[in-house]
Amino acid sequence: MDQRAILDHQFVVAAYAITWILQLGYLAWLGFKWRSEKRNAERRAGQAR
């Protein structure tokens, strides 16, 4: 493998890894937000009773 091929490969890996970090990071943040909203709704339901 020459230097150019190694660099090309590294750039592809970086692009794919960054894409997945962003997408999965956003999904995790959504999960936390979902849980927080569910807790708020349950707390409100508890107070109403």
Binding site for other proteins (CB under 8 A): 4-5, 7-9, 11-12, 14-16, 18-19, 22-23, 26-27, 30, 33-34, 37-38, 40-41, 44
Residue with tokens 């109403």: 48
The Cα–Cα gap between 17 and 13 comes to 6
CB of 46 to other proteins, least distance (A): 12
29, containing H or E segment: helix 3-48
What is residue 49's DSSP assignment? -
CB of 14 to other proteins, least distance (A): 6
Q: Which is nearer to other proteins, 27 or 49 (CB)?
A: 27
